[in-house]
Amino acid sequence: MVQKSYHMAKSLTEIQCRNATSEGKKIRKLSDGAGLYLWVYDSGEKYWRYRYVIDGKEKSLSLGVYPKVTLQSARKLAVEKGCLLANGKDPSQERKLAKIERKIAADNSFESVAREWYGKYLRTWVDSHAADVMRRLEYNIFPKIGKRPISQITGPELLDVIQDIERRGAFDAAHKTLGMVGQVFRYGIATGRCAYDLAAALRGALTPVNRKHQPAVRPEKFPQLMRDIAKYHQTGGLDTQYGIQLLAHTFLRTGELIGSRWSEVNFEERIWEIPAERMKMNNAHLVPLSDQVIAILNALKPLSRGSDFILPGRNHMVSISNNTILSALYKLGYKGKMTGHGFRSVASTILNETGFNPDVIERQLAHSERNEVRGAYNRAEYIKDRRYMMQWWSDYIDAVTEGRKPEPPVL
């Protein structure tokens, strides 16, 4: 490979560069020597070019716009290109390779991989969870290591980023954010962008967090709870009492219940379909209606004041708030002892101890389906068994509330 740059003894000055004109030509080329030229256009624009010959072919390479790139800076760039030539490398080709490497690095940055991972899972999340994930990444992670190639991030580097969250006293948030980062690393491994899940090795380095589970009464205290709820109308609203009883009979999540609309209930088919957008795992969910649930819904109908919502707030155009049911339980004396979510725990415990099929229970609890494709078609899975279980559960609630011994299920 034969190469050379152009050498001329004459050099430009900063004043010459500043005052240079095209002198009526379309382009005037002023040489600084060593292959460096200032091209002055009739429009007044000025560009630095580096001219050289390699393998018998004359080439030129742009080094930037004057005066943004000063004469001194242009000379340094020309020297760098001359060094490449001296080592048998084509400056133009090296620039193209560097551009490709930068693109690869950008595509493999932590932020790029994280956003790709986020896009894959976005449709499986409810809006609130999706917003929380992106907020944590954009606030805590991207500003610090987002531009770094994911394969080059080190354990101590990641640990320092997560410990920044701990230094704010947000210990639980630090654990949750590390968990999200771990999912990004595992996605990076699966797509060939990195080899290790650094987050997995850092779990023991964070301050432990004692997470409190949602309070729930023990099964033996459940009958008294239901008796107390049955008297709530004496001090609170009858519609709120019915709302809590619906939660007990259906063991929906509170957020899934409060936004429910009458259009979701099919009394003829005895089924209540919660749409995907209100479900935690973003999959539509079916609730078989027991005789007792149908009776509660019929009692609620006149109390809803013509609202589309089964449980409207004071303004019948909107649903009750998240705190309505929790506040009612507090009013009954169950603060720190029971929450709306606690009905799911009690139901799960009793139904499992009674001998119902765990798969049937899990499906009715609408816990996540690990197989995404299967989950999309599984809302009616075990529906016959679920109908029987939900009627038995309502009969059980009536029995223990009235002090009767429940009938055992036929399994």
In the structure, what pLDDT confidence band is assigned to residue 369 with cuts at 50, 70 and 90? Answer: very low
- Both tokens assigned to 254: 């509170």
- Can you give the length of the chain in residues? 411
Given a cut of 70, whether residue 212 has pLDDT beyond it is: no
Say how far apart CA 241 and CA 234 lie, in whole Å. 10
Which helix (H) or strand (E) element contains residue 19? helix 14-19
**Three-state DSSP class for 401?**
helix
Residue 100 has a pLDDT of 60
> Given this model, what pLDDT does residue 58 score?
87
| pLDDT for 210 | 66
Residue 271: which of 245, 251, 290 has the closest Cα?
290
In the predicted structure, residue 381 carries a pLDDT above the cut 60? yes
Assigned fold of 110-205? DNA polymerase; domain 1 (1.10.150)
Return residue ranges of the chain for CATH 1.10.443.10.
219-401
Q: From the CA atom positions of the chain, what is the Rg in Å? A: 35
> Which residues pair with residue 369 across a beta bridge?
none
Q: In what order do the strands lie in the sheet with 285-288?
A: 265-266, 271-274, 285-288
Query: Residue 351's closest CA among 379, 384, 392, 400?
Result: 392
Q: What is the pTM of this model?
A: 0.53
Please say whether the beta carbons of 313 and 320 come within 8 A.
Answer: yes
How do residues 172-182 score in pLDDT, each as one tens digit? 888 989 999 99
Q: Which amino acid would we find at residue 200?
A: A
Q: Which residues are marked as active site?
A: 253, 280, 341, 344, 367, 377
Helix (H, G, I), strand (E, B) or coil at 293: helix
In 3D space, the residue among 183, 170, 176, 217 whose CA is nearest the CA of residue 350 turns out to be: 217
Lowest mean pLDDT among 52-61, 78-87, 370-379: 370-379
- Region(s) of the chain under CATH 1.10.150.130: 110-205
Give the span between the Cα atoms of 291 and 270, in whole angstroms. Answer: 9
165: tokens are 């969250």
Rounded CA-CA distance 41/33 in Å is 20
Range list for CATH 3.30.160.390 in the chain: 3-94
Which residues lie below 8 Å from residue 242, measured CB to CB, with a gap of 6+? 296, 299, 300, 303
Place of tokens 């309505």: 324
Quote the mean pLDDT of the chain. 87
Structure tokens at 84: 């490449």
Q: How many CB atoms lie within 10 A of CB 119?
A: 9
In this structure, what token pair is assigned to residue 111? 């932020």
Phi, psi of 76 (to 5 degrees): -65, -40
Residue 109 is given by DSSP the state B
- Provide the CATH number for the domain formed by 3-94 in this structure: 3.30.160.390
Higher pLDDT, 318 or 162: 162
Does residue 97 have a pLDDT over 90? no
Question: For the stretch 136-155, what's the b/e string if a residue is b when 16 or more beta carbons lie within 10 angstroms of its beta carbon?
Answer: bbeebbbeebbebbbbebee
For the segment 326-336, what is each residue's pLDDT rounded down to a tens digit? Answer: 999 999 999 99
pLDDT tens, position by position, 184-199: 999 999 988 888 999 9
Between 19-28, 124-133, 373-382, the lowest mean confidence (pLDDT) is in 373-382
In angstroms, the CA 151 to CA 193 distance is 6
CA-to-CA separations, 179 to 137, 151, 200, 213, in angstroms, rounded? 11, 18, 8, 19
**Which CATH superfamily hosts domain 219-401?**
Intergrase catalytic core (1.10.443.10)
